[in-house]
Structure 1
Amino acid sequence: MRTRTGNLQRGRTGRSAGARPIGRRTDTGRGGWPRRWLATREVVTERYAGWAAERYITMPTRTCSGPCSEATGECANAAGTRVAQQLAGGSMIPRRTVLTLPIVGAAVLACTGSNRTASRRRLGGVRGADLSFTLRMESAGVSYSDGRRTAPVEQLLADRGADLVRLRVWVGPDAGGSDLHTALVLARRAADVGCAVLLSLHYSDTWADPDNQTIPRSWAGQDLATLANTVQAYTRDCVGAFAAQGTPLRAVQIGNEVTRGMLWPVGAVRHGSAEGWGPFTRLLRAGIAGAREAAPDLPVLIHVDQGGNTDVCRHFFDRMEEHDVAFDVAALSYYPFWHGSLEGLRHNVTELSSRFGCDVLVVETAYPWYLPGPAAPTTAGTVEFMVTDPDQLPDVARLPATPAGQADYFDALRDVLRSVPDDRGIGFVAWEPGWTGQFVDVLPEGGGNPYANLSMFDESGRGLPALSAFRPERTN
C-alpha cells in the first residue's frame, strides 16, 4: 500500500497444513495477556535487539571455475562452503548475531530458471490478514470484539477461519516502526492461535511501494555486488530468526510492491523499457538465495501493485522469466479504488496463472464500510481519508460502501479467485483489518488514520459483517 509520504498508498491481499498446533495458554500476565507477549527482551528476540543498528561486513569469499549463481555472482560449486563461512563468521553476517542453521547444498543456491513452472512451490489456500501494526494499535488503547467476545485481533480472526498472518519488516525503522523484534512477537501470537506467517521484507527503513523504495540508511553507498550480498545475508538471517524461535515461516515475500524495482537508485526500473531490469533482478535473486539458505522449501512471493492491470503485470512477470527470477507465487495488491473493477482483477489473475504456471495471491486488499460525511460514525476532526467518494469504487452499484457492501465485496473477491482454473487463485490477505479509529495515528507523520473506513472493525472495535470473509471453503 502506498504511504502518504509518497501519496499514502493511493492504489493499494482452514488453518495451514504446515501450521504448528499450539494449545491454549494459561500463563497470563496483566489483563489476561500471555506473559511472553508482554516481554520485550526474551532470550530469542534478545539476539536480534538493535538489528537496525547492525551493519554487514564484507569479507572475501571462495570461488572456483564452476558454474556461477546469477543471484550472487559467485561459484555455485563453492556455495556450500560459502554458507559455512557465513555461519562461522565469514562474509556479510551481522557483527554480533550468528544463527545456527543447517548448511545448504550448492544446488539450492545455483540458478533455478530452467523448468521453473514445474518446480514452483504451492502455497495452498490463504485467508489471511496483515496485522503488522497490532502492537501499535494496542498501545493506543484499541481493543477488539466480535459479538460478545473481546480478544486479541488475531484470535478473533482465527476464530472466524483466518489461517495466515502477514507481517512486514523494515531494516532500520524509527521508533514505533515495523522492526524485526515486533514481527517476531506477533509471529508467536499468530502461532498461538494456529495461524501461519507470511513475512513481507521491504528492504527499506520505512514503507516500500511503487513511489518509495528508499535504500536503508545503513546500506547507503554500496555498489550492486555488495548490495546483492547484503540482501542475501539479511534475508537469510531474517528468515532464520523465525525458525530459531519455533515459528518457521509459511512463505516469504521478497520486496514490497516492486513494480518499479527496489533499493533505489541501484535497483530502480522503468516500466515499458529495458532500463534497470538487470540490477533489480539480481537483487531479487539474491533475496531468494538468502531465503533458500535458511529454508530450502519455502515458497517465495514476488509482489507488485496494479492487481487489475493485466498489461503492467504481464510485462513485469515476463521480465522475471527473462532474468531467471525463480519465484513461486505472483502476489498482487488489489484495491478497487485504485486498481479498477473486479472483472479486471479476474482477467489479470487468470492470465498470470496461465501464462506463468503459478499460483496468484491477492496479498493486499481492502474495501470501505462507510464514506466520510454526515452519516459517518464520527464527523469531528480533520482526518483526510483515502477513500471519500462513491465514484472511486468501480463496482459501487452492487457493492456500496456500507458494512453489508464491504462483506459483499469480500464474497465477490472470493468468487473471482475461485474461478481461476486449476485452483491457482489461492486466496487473499486483508490489509490491516484492525486499523480502526480515525484519531489513532497510524503513520509516522501523524494526521490520524486515513484508513479507518477500510477496517473490518467499527470505531469502537466491534467486528463488522466482513469478518465472514475468513470462513473456510465448503468441502461438500
Structure 2
Amino acid sequence: MKKILFSIGILITFAFSCSTTNTIVEKTKENAFAKGADVGWLPQMEATGYQFYDADGTKKDCLQLLKDRGINTIRLRVWVNPSDDKASGHCSKDETVVMAVRAQKMGMRVMIDFHYSDSWADPGKQNKPLEWRNHTFSELLNDVYFHTDDVLNALKKAGVTPEWVQVGNEIPGGMLWPEGSTDNFNQLAQLLNKGYDAVKAVDKNIKVIVHLDEGNNSKKFRWFFDNAKANNVKYDVIGLSYYPFWIKTDYKENIADLANNLNDMSARYDKEVMVVEVGGVDTLEQNTHDMLATVIKAVKAVPNNKGLGVIYWEPEGAKSWSHYELSAWKSDGKPSMALDAFKE
C-alpha cells in the first residue's frame, strides 16, 4: 500500500510539475510577443502642455497608461538633423536617447526606426538629409554607417540596447533617393547592408528590420524581397505596415491577405515577421479594437513562433493635438478602448 501511495504521490508531483512548467513556458512565450506603441510625438506633446488621463479622470504618465493596457514595447523614430516643427520635427538623437531611457525604466522593450532623413521618410518621399545632399554614393554609404553607429552607441552609453532596429522606414521604393532607389537595387542593397553592419557592430543580438508598407500586398512584398535576396541584403526581420484606412477599405476586406502575406514572407525567406505599424480611425473605437485584435491574432498564428509582435503607430497622438485621425486617444485626453486589444 505504501508503495502504491508513494507511486501515486510521484505521479501527482510529476503531473503538477509538468503543468507548472507548461504554464511558465506559455507565460514566457506570451511575454515574448511584442505589443507596442510608436510614441515619437510624446516629447512634443508633453512640452506643449498636453495632459494624459486614465479612464477615471486621474492624470497619469502616458507610458504608464500604455503599460496598463498591455503595451510592453516602445518604437522611436530618429531623424538626422530635424527642425523644431511640432508635427514634422524633433526626434533627434538626443531626444531619442532620453525617450529610450525613460521607456526602459518603465520596463519597456525598445525599437529604433532610422528614417535616414531630416523629416518623414515613407513610400512617397525618401529625401536625403540636407547635410548629405551633395555626397557621392561612397560618402552616403559611410553616412548610413556612421549615423547608425552614432545613435546606437549614444543609446548604449545611456544604458539602452534596442531589441530591434529598422534600417529605413517604409522603403518599397528604396531610400536616400535617387541613389538608393529600387531602380538601382544593388545600390540600395549596399546602403541597407551598411546599416545592418553598423547595428551588428554595436550588438550582434539586435535584430535588423527591413520595412515596407501595405502589409496585405503580397505582390509588392514578393517583388521587393526577391530583389533583396538576389542582391544579398542582410536583415533578420520583415516589417510590415497595415492601415486599412489609407487603402480606403475596412480591415475585414483584406485581413486574410495580411495573414497570408505574413505566413508567406516567413516561409518564403525563412525570416521572422512583425507588424511594426498599424492604426485605425480614432472615433471608430470598436472597429479599431477588433481590427487590432485580429491583427495580433494573425501575427501570433505565424508558424514556428516567427510572428514577433504588433506596434500601434502613435496611439497617444490625439487628433486635438496632432490632427491625425488614426490615434487611439479620445478628445478628453483618455485612451480609447481600442487599446484594450493588447490586454486580451
Cα distance, 1:124 vs. partner?
Answer: 4.7
Name 2:287's counterpart in structure 1.
405
Name the SS of the counterpart of 1:136 in structure 2.
helix
Match of 2:112 among 186, 199, 202: 199
Say whether the 8 Å CA contact 1:144–1:457 is kept in structure 2: no
Matched with 1:416 is: 298
Match for residue 206 of structure 2 among 288, 294, 298: 298
> Aligned letter for 2:132?
W
The answer to whether 1:254 aligns with 2:173 is no
Equivalent position of 1:171 in the other structure: 80
Map of 1:132-143 to 2, 5 A cutoff? Answer: 132-143=40-51
1:419 Cα deviation (Å)?
2.2
Distance 1:137 1:317 in 2: 37
Q: CA deviation at 1:418?
A: 2.3
8 Å contact kept, 2:35–2:70: yes
Which among 203, 224, 227 is matched to residue 316 of structure 1? 224
Q: Does 2:220 align with 1:307?
A: no
- Alignment counterpart, residue 125 of structure 1, candidates 26, 33, 47: 33
Using the alignment, how far apart are the partners of 2:130 and 2:335 within structure 1? 39
1:321 counterpart SS class: helix
Aligned twin of 2:149: 236
Q: Counterparts of 1:336-415 in structure 2 under 5 Å?
A: 336-339=244-247, 341-370=254-283, 402-415=284-297
Q: 1:251 to 1:458 in 2, by over 3 A?
A: same
* Distance of 2:204 and 2:275 partners within structure 1: 24
Q: Which residue of 2 aligns with 1:470?
A: 342
Preserved CA contact (<8 Å) 1:239 1:295: no
Counterpart AA for 1:199: I
Aligned residue for 2:75, secondary structure, equals strand
Find the residue that maps to 1:261 and give its secondary structure. Answer: coil
What secondary structure sits across from 1:184 in the alignment?
A: helix
Query: What are the equivalent positions in structure 2 for 1:3-14 lying under 5 Å apart?
Result: none
| Residue 158 (structure 2) aligns with | 245
Separation of aligned partners in 2, 1:425 and 1:294: 25
CA drift of 1:190 comes to 0.4
Question: Could you tell me how far 1:165 is from its partner in structure 2?
Answer: 0.3
- The amino acid across from 1:193 in the alignment is M
Aligned to 1:460: 332
The C-alpha deviation readout for 1:348-376, integer Å capped at 9, x for no partner, is 11110110111111101101132xxxxxx
Amino acid at match of 2:319: G
Instruction: Work out the CA distance in 2 between the residues paired with 1:405 and 1:242.
Output: 37
Give the fraction of aligned pairs with identical amino acids, expressed as a percent. 34
Q: With structure 1 as the length reference, what TM-score do the two structures score?
A: 0.62
Change in CA separation of 1:362 and 1:457 when aligned onto 2, cut-off 3 Å:
same
Q: Secondary structure at the match of 1:267?
A: coil
1:263 to 157, 168, 176: 176
Q: 5 Å matches for 1:23-38? A: none
- Note the aligned Cα RMSD (angstroms): 1.6
Instruction: Give the match's secondary structure for 2:169.
Output: coil
Superimposed CA distance per residue, residues 80-130 of structure 1 (whole angstroms, 9 cap, x where no aligned partner):
xxxxxxxxxxxxxxxxxxxxxxxxxxxxxxxxxxxxxxxxxxx95210000
Correspondent of 1:182 among 95, 105, 123: 95
Instruction: Assess if the C-alpha contact under 8 Å between 2:281 and 2:327 holds in 1.
Output: yes
Cα separation, 2, equivalents of 1:226 and 1:456: 41
CA distance in 2, matches of 1:265, 1:417: 34
Distance 1:437 1:312, change over 3 A: closer
Q: CA deviation at 1:144?
A: 1.5
Give a deviation string over 1:184-236, Cα, whole Å, max 9, x none: 11111101210011000000011000111001111111111121012111111
User: What is the rounded CA distance, in whole Å, between the counterparts of 1:276 and 1:124 in structure 2?
Assistant: 37
Per the TM alignment, residue 139 of structure 1 is displaced from its structure 2 partner at its CA by 2.2
Measured after TM superposition, the shift of residue 142 of structure 1 is: 1.7
TM-score of the superposed pair, with normalisation by structure 2? 0.85
Runs (4+) of structure 1 exceeding 4 A deviation are none
Partner Cα separation in structure 2 for residue 293 and residue 424 of structure 1: 24
Q: Which has the higher helix share?
A: 2
Q: Which residue of 1 aligns with 2:7?
A: none
In structure 2, the CA distance between the partners of 1:426 and 1:406, relative to structure 1 (3 Å rule), is same
Give the CA deviation at 1:425. Answer: 2.0
Distance 1:431 1:193 in 2: 19
* 8 Å contact kept, 2:316–2:335: no
Q: What residue ranges of structure 1 are gaps of 5+ in the alignment?
A: 1-122, 270-274, 371-401, 443-448
Q: Is the 8 A contact 2:293 2:342 kept in 1?
A: no
Equivalent-residue separation in structure 1 for 2:260 and 2:199 (angstroms): 31
CA distance in 2, matches of 1:407, 1:143: 23
Residues 369 and 405 in structure 1, CA contact (< 8 A), matched pair in contact too: no
**Matched residues in 2 for 1:280 and 1:213: separation?**
12
Instruction: Flag structure 2 segments of 5+ consecutive residues without an equivalent.
Output: 1-30
Q: Is the 8 A contact 1:254 1:302 kept in 2?
A: yes
Q: Residue 281 of structure 1 is aligned with which of 172, 176, 189? A: 189
Q: Shift of the alpha carbon at 1:153?
A: 1.2
